[in-house]
Amino acid sequence: MKAKENHMKKYEYLVFDVDDTLLDFYAAFRHAQEMTSRLFGTECTEAFRKADEKCGWRAWIESGLERTDDEEIQKKYHDIYYRQLKLHYEYLAEELGAKCDPAAAAETYLEAIEASRVPMEPHTLETYKRLSEKYRLCLATNGISRTQRARTEAFMPYTYRLFVSEETGAIKPDKKFFDVILKELGCDPGKCLMIGDSVRNDMTGAIKAGMDVCLYDPKGKNRDFDGARRIESITELEKALCG
């Protein structure tokens, strides 16, 4: 964060994205690969991982789930999500020339994701806990309830509200998702800071709703993005907020 941005204004609520902001989704995905490989009767080799990622992206793109700003996708996002999971494993079975029940593989995938709670940084939860002593913390995540509620369990004692897209009826970056947050909190957008790793889903949607935003960018992929404050670690956020 630039020196002139060392201190942020006072907020009442900090709204955190979950995947790749607080929790490492790639670690969860790799765990899911280890579990699903067994259903295909093979070891989780690099070849299996590459085939799985190839088929997963194919199903995701064909299902349109990367188009989170598309109104039709927004309306049917969660139904499409469940369908693309099965399609993912149908493609993988074809790719490997193996027999596997796509529904069983999808269920195994979800169970594996639920079980993975790897933080983005070793001190993420500790820092989150300290922030909860000065702010009301909220979690705002695209996803399905069963996985996101399970994965955020350790954060919940320090969390004021959890907003999961399957429950809110809207997904990020739809302004409606953030409007639900503001309505439930009963506060002015200016009292909320949205922290997330996605320019499209977290930054754009929150800005539309009038919230301030902070881009979590630990790998420095968005250094040229000037639409928000940018941090590379959660401790950097804590220093900026709390001095």
The domain 3-23+118-242 having CATH identifier 3.40.50.300: the answer here is no
- For residues 199 and 73, what is the distance between their CA atoms, to the nearest angstrom? 18
- For residues 79 and 211, what is the distance between their CA atoms, to the nearest angstrom? 29
Domain 26-115, what architecture?
Orthogonal Bundle (1.10)
The torsion angles phi and psi of 195, rounded to 5 degrees, stand at: -115, 120
Residues 6+ apart with CB under 8 A from 1: 229, 230, 231, 232, 236, 240
Interval 206-223: pLDDT, tens: 999 999 999 999 988 887
Residue 32 to residues 67, 80, 96, 110, Cα–Cα distance (Å): 24, 20, 17, 8
For the segment 18-39, the average pLDDT, to the nearest whole number, is 97
Domain chopping of the chain, boundaries? 3-23+118-242, 26-115
Q: Following DSSP, what letter does each residue of 82-98 receive, concatenated? A: HHHHHHHHHHHHHHHT-
Residues 6+ apart with CB under 8 A from 18: 139, 140, 141, 143, 148, 151, 152
Location of structure tokens 């979590």: 216
Q: What is the DSSP letter of 23?
A: B
Domains 3-23+118-242 and 26-115 share a fold: no
- For residues 236 and 241, what is the distance between their CA atoms, to the nearest angstrom? 9
Alpha helices in 40-99 (DSSP H): 46-63, 71-96
- For residues 112 and 28, what is the distance between their CA atoms, to the nearest angstrom? 7
Q: Which pTM does this prediction carry?
A: 0.92
| pLDDT for the residue numbered 4 | 41
Give yes or no for a contact between 59 and 87, defined as CB atoms under 8 angstroms apart.
yes
Residue 135 has pLDDT above 80, yes or no: yes
Give yes or no for a contact between 138 and 15, defined as CB atoms under 8 angstroms apart.
yes
Interval 154-199: pLDDT, tens: 999 999 999 999 999 999 999 999 999 999 999 999 999 999 999 9
For the segment 135-148, the average pLDDT, to the nearest whole number, is 97
